[in-house]
Structure 1
Amino acid sequence: MTVLPEWIADPILRPAWDLVRTRFEKAGLDASGKVLLRPATRDERHAIGALLGRTITRETVRVDLATLDARLNERSGVGGLEAVLAALYGTRPEDRPAVRAARDASRERPLQRAAELVTATWASEWIAGLRRTGLLTNRVDSERTIRDAAAVLRELTDTEGAPIAQSRVELAARLLGDAHALDRDRRLHQVVLRGLAAAASIPVPDGTREREELWASRGVEPDLLSRTCLVWRLRVGTVEPPGRRLSDAADAGDPVHVTEWELRRIGSFAPAAGTRVLVCENPRVIEGMAERGVDGWAAVCTAGEPNLVVDKVLGNLTRAGADLYYHGDFDWPGIAIANRVITRFAARPCQMTADDYLHAVRPDGPALVGKQIEPLWDPELGAAMRSHGRAVHEESVLPLILDALTASQ
């Protein structure tokens, strides 16, 4: 351990050394410039005087680092300012400009690599977003992440015509050798998503549904089995096994879940001629329709916020000219879902008027919470809901729904 002279190592000098060290590090370990010291006591002035080799009488002292460095080189026994600071603090002073430059270079290196690997016109916006967010800053795997992201983005954006339908795990396994590389909790997923948004000239989506829609626009699904759509009495025109299964379920009046895997094999759904389709929010409604055997109706359940499989089923029905009707919860999320289904798929509200709400609302019902949403089809409904402040869920009015469907046959 290096032993320094008392005129250097005196504890009363530590505040002065802190200022000297900060200035020395900011200057890139160059002993130049001056430090202003303000000794508060007589003992501090004596200690600083011993350090500088002169008598201190003023309340402020300007220390020239070059002069101090020369004095230390001559008298410290360990060397100049850098060596003395290392001995005092137990660690070598940090060349702050050099550290900052190295950090900046490290941050820019993967971004420069990104520009080399992805040359599309949208790449500059993608790279600028990565720089702003610091997603890759101080990451030892940042260059690997960029290489993998570039491979995925080239695959998904360089193709002409319709995108190739595939699952995300399939894509990740084929291109990257890791089926989970593009999972939502991986940093690579975020980097690729930003690239897809830049390629589409849209903001980076911040909601789960919007993110999945962006992937789906390139033909990529999370997987082909985990998301389903519950349907009742919908038929398909194919004789392939999935089509036969669904047609058999329709004949038997059994509700059935449809996966993305099956959608790709069965083509489009179509209700029987003259059949109307109720789009509902809660599976209990389909269960009630099946139990009662409501004639003249088929059904699709969104199970809350519609996923992309539900969207595809409803899109198929719309293109086939099916008559869609919608019933959901009388709460603000339910109104938001109703607005989207009615707007996107030309569905008509079913038992969703202000009168229907007023007939069912109870003073002890669940409170309305969340952001208020105006019903597009009936402004009076929104006013009634705000006035009462209570929600009405589908399950609580199921008998009324079934009676109305039965009466409309």
Structure 2
Amino acid sequence: MERQGKGTGGLTMDDDRFARECIKYFKSSPGFKRLFEGMRDKYRSLGYIGGTVVLKNPTPLEREALSGLLKRDCYSSKSISVKAESVLKAIDGTRFQYVDFDQVLKGYFNGKLISKKDERVFYEQEKDSFFAKLLCGFEDTKGGRWLRDILESHKNAYKIIIQRYDRDREKLTDDLIYTIKGINELSFSEKKTVRFALFSSKITKNPHFFDMDNECGKLLLQAASYILDTPCPQNAEGRAELLYRAGIINDQISNYTMCCNVEAYINGEVHSGWHGFFERGEPLLVSLWNLAEVDTIKCRNNIVFIFENPTVFSQVLSETSHKRPSLICTYGEVRLASLVLLDKLVDNVDKIYYSGDLDPEGILIADKLKQRYKEKLILWHYEPEDYNSIRSKDIIDGHRLKKLERLKSIELLPVADAILKHRCPAYQELLTNKYIQDVLNI
């Protein structure tokens, strides 16, 4: 580049022409491409033209171009280090000396040049504007408060929402509006529930829109967990229970429980279907669908006996059928149907006797029910003496034992300590005779 005498004053038409020519000059040689890319990266990091660009394994074209620009030997070294000030100094004294190099660097990349700091500021401003517009009209609603709170706290579904914001803002807008409307529609009461498909259809005209494998279903679940101040569940049963607490009944057919000698009522009238089984003293398998149809459930003598194990349930029922006790079988892990059944009868009973296996999982199930039904639930044969009398020779691994750290009920601590001491499970089948005697004598 030939040298040029100094000019005066601000930017002129010639300056603009020289800038275009300077950009054309650097673009005309492929040997400058990596240098300018490196200078752009430094500009993005620093916010100004500066720093040093290192070109490793330079090509012959790069060696030639940089040797000519910098007026130094760039042919022999394995890498070439170029300071930004060296480039500016090389230009100084040429006909491009008054050119704003920021303008040149920007023009080289067709006008796209912004520091990471400025880019972040612009990103945050644009994001704030996006969500402020989305929240307009929902500010004082449950759903609106949920979204506002998590945007401020960066908790709950925040990461999911921001990832989707970066990916597809238009689809995110629709999904968040539907989620907010859905949350605002829910009662968050177990006494006022709606079937899942009907709820989804009312909000979106699509009965499957909030299915748990859809993005909107995941948002709804996150929002419900935030409002209920509980961790977002990772399994199907936990999700069904959370939705139930929010006022949604889901999976109505396959979610079931077993009961016997209980009466169900609709608006104060005996349910004829349930009554037929009650009259015959036969066990009845009830689904969430069946439970959704009734509002009150009553037990004989205001007492109900619950068994985790179906074999124990069947044996106790067989041996005590002449007394007609009210019995429930939860089939291991307490499903939502069992909780709904208990919720509908808890106000009409004096005592709920619960029995299960004496291992970490069984203890935590008992603990969960004790926390839910408080003093009405009696932990039935959960004493260390019961455990020691039926303790098996199996060994519980440390991972399972660690679950007992989550225990909340003081009443269960003695048996939990016994389990931790012996590291062996105990199964309720061996307590069947004791259960039978208790049912006959209570």
Give TM-score scaled by structure 1 length. Answer: 0.75
Is the alpha carbon distance of 1:212 and 1:114 closer, same or farther for their aligned partners in structure 2, counting shifts above 3 Å?
A: farther
Alignment-derived partner of residue 54 in structure 1: 71
Alignment-derived partner of residue 136 in structure 2: 116
Q: Is the 8 A contact 1:279 1:324 kept in 2?
A: yes
282, 285, 290: which one aligns with 2:309: 282
1:79-101 CA deviation, whole Å, 9 max, x = no partner?
95567668xxxxx9665658656
Structure 2 matches for 1:5-404, cutoff 5 A? Answer: 8-10=29-31, 16-24=35-43, 33-37=49-53, 47=64, 49-55=66-72, 61-64=82-85, 81=105, 95=114, 103-104=123-124, 107-108=127-128, 110-120=130-140, 123-124=144-145, 126-130=147-151, 132=154, 133-136=158-161, 137-140=165-168, 141-156=171-186, 164-196=192-224, 199=227, 202=229, 205-206=232-233, 212-237=240-265, 243-273=271-301, 276-296=303-323, 297-345=325-373, 346-364=376-394, 369-370=400-401, 371-372=403-404, 376-377=410-411, 379-394=413-428, 396-397=429-430, 399-404=432-437
Is the alpha carbon distance of 1:39 and 1:267 closer, same or farther for their aligned partners in structure 2, counting shifts above 3 Å?
A: closer
Equivalent-residue separation in structure 2 for 1:256 and 1:192 (angstroms): 33
Is the alpha carbon distance of 1:84 and 1:226 closer, same or farther for their aligned partners in structure 2, counting shifts above 3 Å?
A: same
Equivalent-residue separation in structure 1 for 2:190 and 2:358 (angstroms): 39
1:264-319 CA deviation, whole Å, 9 max, x = no partner?
4333222223x742111122222223333444322112233323432232233331
Equivalent-residue separation in structure 1 for 2:294 and 2:53 (angstroms): 82
Equivalent-residue separation in structure 2 for 1:258 and 1:49 (angstroms): 82
The one-letter amino acid of 1:50's match is S
Equivalent-residue separation in structure 1 for 2:192 and 2:299 (angstroms): 29
Q: Is the 8 A contact 2:183 2:224 kept in 1?
A: yes
Equivalent-residue separation in structure 2 for 1:333 and 1:128 (angstroms): 35
The one-letter amino acid of 1:135's match is I
Q: Is the 8 A contact 1:8 1:51 kept in 2?
A: no
Q: Is the 8 A contact 1:110 1:142 kept in 2?
A: no
Equivalent-residue separation in structure 2 for 1:268 and 1:155 (angstroms): 24
Instruction: Identify unmatched segments of 5+ residues in structure 1.
Output: 87-91
1:58-91 CA deviation, whole Å, 9 max, x = no partner?
x9753346677897989xxxx95567668xxxxx
Q: Once the two structures are aligned, what percentage of the paired residues are identical?
A: 14
Q: CA deviation at 1:379?
A: 4.1
Q: Is the 8 A contact 1:242 1:265 kept in 2?
A: no
Q: CA deviation at 1:388?
A: 1.5
The one-letter amino acid of 1:23's match is K
Equivalent-residue separation in structure 2 for 1:251 and 1:6 (angstroms): 93
Equivalent-residue separation in structure 2 for 1:384 and 1:162 (angstroms): 36
Is the alpha carbon distance of 1:281 and 1:17 closer, same or farther for their aligned partners in structure 2, counting shifts above 3 Å?
A: same
Equivalent-residue separation in structure 2 for 1:337 and 1:146 (angstroms): 35
Q: CA deviation at 1:179?
A: 1.0
Equivalent-residue separation in structure 1 for 2:64 and 2:309 (angstroms): 81
Q: 3-state SS of the aligned residue for 2:257?
A: strand
Q: CA deviation at 1:184?
A: 1.8
Q: Is the 8 A contact 2:190 2:245 kept in 1?
A: no
The one-letter amino acid of 2:131's match is L
Instruction: Identify unmatched segments of 5+ residues in structure 2.
Output: 1-23, 75-79, 98-102
Equivalent-residue separation in structure 1 for 2:270 and 2:385 (angstroms): 42
Is the alpha carbon distance of 1:108 and 1:169 closer, same or farther for their aligned partners in structure 2, counting shifts above 3 Å?
A: farther
Equivalent-residue separation in structure 2 for 1:6 and 1:378 (angstroms): 77
The one-letter amino acid of 1:36's match is T
Equivalent-residue separation in structure 2 for 1:263 and 1:354 (angstroms): 36
Q: 3-state SS of the aligned residue for 1:183?
A: coil
Equivalent-residue separation in structure 1 for 2:269 and 2:70 (angstroms): 97
1:169-197 CA deviation, whole Å, 9 max, x = no partner?
21111220111111222222333344445
Q: Is the 8 A contact 1:25 1:95 kept in 2?
A: yes
RMSD: 4.4
Count of residue correspondences: 388
Q: CA deviation at 1:348?
A: 1.8
Alignment-derived partner of residue 89 in structure 1: none
Give TM-score scaled by structure 2 length. Answer: 0.70
Is the alpha carbon distance of 1:67 and 1:100 closer, same or farther for their aligned partners in structure 2, counting shifts above 3 Å?
A: farther
Equivalent-residue separation in structure 2 for 1:163 and 1:403 (angstroms): 34
Equivalent-residue separation in structure 2 for 1:7 and 1:380 (angstroms): 83
Q: 3-state SS of the aligned residue for 1:117?
A: coil
- Bigger mean CA offset, 40-49 vs 356-365: 40-49
